[in-house]
């Protein structure tokens, strides 16, 4: 059995266990390459795991186009969670539209409004949530576990692709003809909001294009952080 097929079987087993033991469970998709792997696995297996995405209001057109491509390929409508309009308006009025360039604090506040608060609404009433995070993506994710006790949201958090390599991800996408974000072919291995993401140069870290003006140690949006620390409070053996 190839390395990819072994990882696929392991991931399928994890997803099946989540659907069986942690219902209702949801998958938080950023519509990037890793998330399309999980989307394909969940929808083809018809697992009772809902898929949602955070529509921040600052996403690339190519990212938004993925919603249509998922609908056309799988006949599935990804649920969208958007920031509270009044919170966005207050931030922009007080600080300016692109104040996130001014400091880490301003950037994290923008992420809190556009991503963290909507995530809380998306996870309300759920027993588990799933992400497409991988250990090799960045220094901040080096100790990522397959299953974690997310005390911040009061539920279990699963990262089924923890041990997948970049090569595994792309081999799966090509082998299974899974649609993916066109920005990946233009030097964007990691894709966030448009003003906070740039293409990377050959040899750069895959997340070097995210908040490129900051130090690597601060490059998390807050979805996986509480009080300045990554939510790695208690890892649970798979």
221 catalytic per annotation: yes
Q: Of 221, 223, 225, 231, which residue is the catalytic one?
A: 221
Rounded CA separation 192/172 (Å) = 22
* 118 marked among binding-site residues: no
* 193 marked among binding-site residues: yes
Contacts of residue 140, Cβ cutoff 8 Å, sequence gap at least 6: 216, 217, 219, 220, 230
Interhelix angle 33-44/166-175, rounded to 10 degrees, is 50
Sheet holding 155-158, edge to edge: 79-81, 49-54, 25-28, 128-130, 155-158, 147-150, 235-236
* 196 marked among binding-site residues: yes
* 96 marked among binding-site residues: no
* Structure tokens that stand for 77 in this block: 């409508």
Query: Residue 95 burial (CB < 10 Å; 0-12/13-18/19+)?
Result: middle
Say which DSSP state 210 is in.
B
Rounded CA separation 24/2 (Å) = 33
Binding annotation: 110-111, 193, 196
Annotated binding site for [4Fe-4S] cluster: 110-111, 193, 196
Which residues are known to be catalytic?
221
């Amino acid at each position: 059995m190839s390395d990819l097929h072994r990882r696929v079987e392991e991931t399928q087993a994890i997803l099946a266990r989540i659907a069986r033991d942690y219902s209702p469970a949801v998958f938080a998709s950023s519509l990037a390459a890793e998330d399309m792997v999980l989307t394909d696995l969940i929808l083809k297996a018809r697992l009772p795991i809902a898929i949602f995405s955070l529509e921040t209001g600052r996403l690339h057109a190519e990212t938004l186009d993925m919603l249509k491509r998922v609908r056309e390929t799988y006949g599935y409508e990804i649920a969208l969670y958007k920031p509270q309009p009044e919170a966005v308006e207050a931030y922009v009025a007080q600080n300016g539209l692109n104040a996130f360039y001014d400091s880490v604090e301003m950037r994290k506040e923008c992420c809190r409004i556009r991503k963290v608060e909507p995530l809380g609404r998306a996870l309300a009433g759920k027993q588990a949530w799933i992400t497409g995070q991988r250990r090799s993506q960045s220094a901040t994710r080096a100790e990522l576990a397959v299953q974690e006790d997310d005390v911040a949201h009061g539920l279990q958090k699963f990262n089924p692709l923890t041990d997948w390599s970049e090569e595994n991800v792309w081999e799966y996408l090509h082998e299974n003809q899974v649609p993916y974000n066109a920005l990946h072919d233009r030097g964007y291995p990691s894709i966030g909001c448009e003003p906070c993401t740039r293409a990377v140069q050959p040899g750069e870290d895959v997340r070097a294009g995210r908040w490129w003006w900051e130090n690597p140690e601060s490059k998390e949006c807050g979805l996986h952080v509480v009080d300045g620390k990554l939510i790695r409070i208690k890892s649970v053996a798979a």
